Copies of this chain bind each other. A is one copy, B any other.
Amino acid sequence: MPTQARERLVRAAEKLFYAEGIRAVGVERLLADSGVGRASFYRHFDSKDDLVVTMLRGYDERWRNWLAQAVADRGGSPLAVFDALAESFAIEDFRGCASINAMVEIADATSPAHRVAAEHKRSVIAYLEELLASAGHPEPAALAERFILLLDGAIVTALRERSTEPARRAKEMAAMLLASAQPAKLGTGRAG
């Protein structure tokens, strides 16, 4: 058999939804771009939302695999996360994080797509916590929460500035955080 229709649909969804937005891309566009017939679409997916969820699950897995590999390639230091980030910002058609974008576009927090998008971030946080714990940092959970804030801040800023600099700024602050967390205990709550 030739390339599976389902696979081509998912690929088109990944490309178009990321580049132009979920609501901005209709089924028609997906069919034209993938070369799949309308009937075949609904043979593989219950609805457009179903494809959105599938695409987000694929994004989650791919992105986390990519990050883990990129960090491992750099020696496994938690700070390498931000070097990997800088690399991703340099990609020409970078348009932020598909998960953040989906949560913004699909406002209803109870919808399947929104839930899957939110779950992606929780998985990334779990990975960061693991990474920080492995590196011997105290309070890896509290640090991971701060890392994800820096990460998402860098992503949003990079989307706006079209630059890799935000990743470096975030790394700088993350390094500061690690240095200060090393000796003393890091609180889970309020700052001064």
Contacts and interface: CB of A to CB of B under 8 A. Distances in A.
Interface residues of chain A: helix, strand, loop or mixed (majority): helix
Nearest to A154: B149
B170 A176 contact: no
A169 interface: yes
Interface of A: 19-21, 23-24, 79, 82, 95-96, 100-101, 103-107, 109, 118, 121, 145-146, 148-154, 156-157, 159-160, 162, 165-166, 168-173, 175-177, 180, 187, 189-192
A151 B153 CA distance: 7
Contacts of A104: 21, 96, 100-101, 104-105, 159
11 contacts: A96-B104, A149-B153, A149-B173, A150-B153, A152-B156, A156-B156, A168-B190, A169-B191, A172-B190, A173-B173, A173-B176
Nearest to A106: B21
Contacts of A153: 149-154, 156
A107 B20 contact: yes
